[in-house]
Amino acid sequence: MNLKLKKVLTMRTIVATSAGLTLSSSTFVAAVQVAGFLAGDAAWLAILTGGLLCTTAALCFGELNGMTPSAAGIRLYFSRAYNDRISLIVSMLYMVVVMGVIGAESYVLARVLNEVWPSVPALVWILAMFSIVTVLNVLGIKIAGGFQNVLTYGLVLSMLAFAFIALAKVNFQLTSPFASGGSIGLVNAVALGVFLFVGFEWVTPLAEEVTHHRMVSKGMLLAIGILSVTYALFTIAMTATTPRETLAGSPIPHLIFARSILSDAGVTWMVAITLAASITTFNAGLISVSRFVYSSAREHVLPPLLSKISMRFFTPWTAILAIFLIGLAISITVLITHQYLVMVNIAAAMESIIYALAGLAVIRLRGKMPEADRPFRIPGGYIIPGICTLVFTGLALAVFASFPIVLLYIALGLLICTWYVNVVVPELKRRYQIQKAAAKPPRRLMAQKKSKSD
């Protein structure tokens, strides 16, 4: 039986999923890093600039998704724009990086909960979070989507409330809100500020489950707008009310900020926010990455076991369980090594690479497929895709220059993914062809059946 995914998702869930992929506890750490590159309370400049730049990428993904609305998402866009091998290598590496972000997220969550309940091992909290979200996803996309709506919008409102309470304590007076402190610092801050929006485009694999695929394009733009305002206000509230050196030296700056503003009540509230942020990240990541895994297995570039769909719930249950196990393994690794900041910077660099490739893909496909149907077309010709390509290429290089270890890890990841695509994928496709041939009745038998029927 050829089961398909159900078209049940609305705009509300698309925005919540796109925003939820970026609303993580590790973004609080990244926000403090962004502020550290700038003088005064000017972090909002880098954050809004990062959001504006990500809007150019969202427009590019919107046009690409309109042309090919598929659970394969990025892999399919890049396959048509470049070639299948390049698209497989890049998209698989990107999928691993997104899972790495979950590892960094789980580390921050563990540190926060350990601060409040030191007697409970961090791994217990991580396992509980992963298990709850996995069960919800297996039960159905509508249940997981409704859960995502409540958490994401509740989280945004809580962060805005915290920001206004904190800013009210200083009478909304900021220290040098327009002083960037130099162009180099601003460039680095914007490059890292992109990480605050990391993953918004991973909502595109849900294109086969929305009631109308144009929702994906609009949903990404709305999510970036909401996140830009929320992050900017929350970050300047942190740096305006709490000593920056105290925030920068901790993996839980948001908890320190909360304690300085509302004492124990603030800590309790921020713990709830941290839990919500971690769950939204993993839930949204599980929703979208599992669809990518499912579609890749359906096209025989991942083991066929991962393409199974539940006959009862119409969800890719084997892909969901696989992401659960991978996410748990990465989380335990980060918990042991404490290399959460490395994952933050790897994600910032990889995100910039993907956005640059998306902008270039729009340009290439307009040349290769000028007559193709484009339900959503970026206005202004090649200006926005060109800006997206050039700016994000520069931002990726800026991250590599500031953190050379990131370049090493991404190069190593590319080598491993290249080996997989060149060695493992051909074997998977060969086995599929053998099974397909074995399933067909011999030609002689088919001819005999035809002659009898005649």
CB 226 within 8 A of CB 311: no
Name the 3-class secondary structure at 262: helix
Q: Is 316 among the domain residues?
A: yes
Looking at residue 324, the DSSP 8-state letter turns out to be H
* Number of other CB atoms surrounding residue 329 within 10 Å: 11
Q: Is 453 among the domain residues?
A: no
Number of domains in the chain: 1
CB 242 within 8 A of CB 222: no
Domain of residue 34: give its range. 11-415
With the CA atoms of 102, 133, 24 and 248 taken in that order, what torsion angle do they form, in degrees rounded to the nearest 10? Answer: -70
Q: Is 52 among the domain residues?
A: yes
Euclidean distance between CA atoms 189 and 184, whole angstroms: 9
Residues counted in the chain? 454
Domain at 367, CATH number: 1.20.1740.10
Question: Read out DSSP for 329-386?
Answer: HHHHHHHHH--HHHHHHHHHHHHHHHHHHHHHHHHHHHHH-TTS--SS--SSTTHHHH
Q: Is 43 among the domain residues?
A: yes
Q: Is 378 among the domain residues?
A: yes
Q: Is 167 among the domain residues?
A: yes
User: What is the model's pTM?
Assistant: 0.77
Q: Is 446 among the domain residues?
A: no
Euclidean distance between CA atoms 317 and 138, whole angstroms: 6
pLDDT in tens, the chain (454 residues): 445 555 656 787 888 878 877 777 777 888 888 888 876 778 888 899 989 989 999 999 888 888 877 666 777 888 888 988 888 899 888 888 877 777 777 777 777 777 777 787 877 877 887 787 788 777 765 666 677 778 888 889 999 999 999 999 888 877 777 766 677 778 878 877 877 887 788 777 676 666 666 778 888 899 999 999 999 999 888 888 888 778 877 778 888 888 888 888 888 888 888 777 777 777 666 777 787 788 788 888 888 888 888 777 677 888 888 888 887 888 788 778 777 777 777 877 888 899 999 999 999 999 888 888 888 889 888 999 999 999 889 888 888 888 899 899 999 999 999 999 999 888 888 888 888 777 665 555 555 555 555 5
Residue 250's identity, in one-letter code, is S
Q: Is 448 among the domain residues?
A: no
Name the 3-class secondary structure at 211: coil
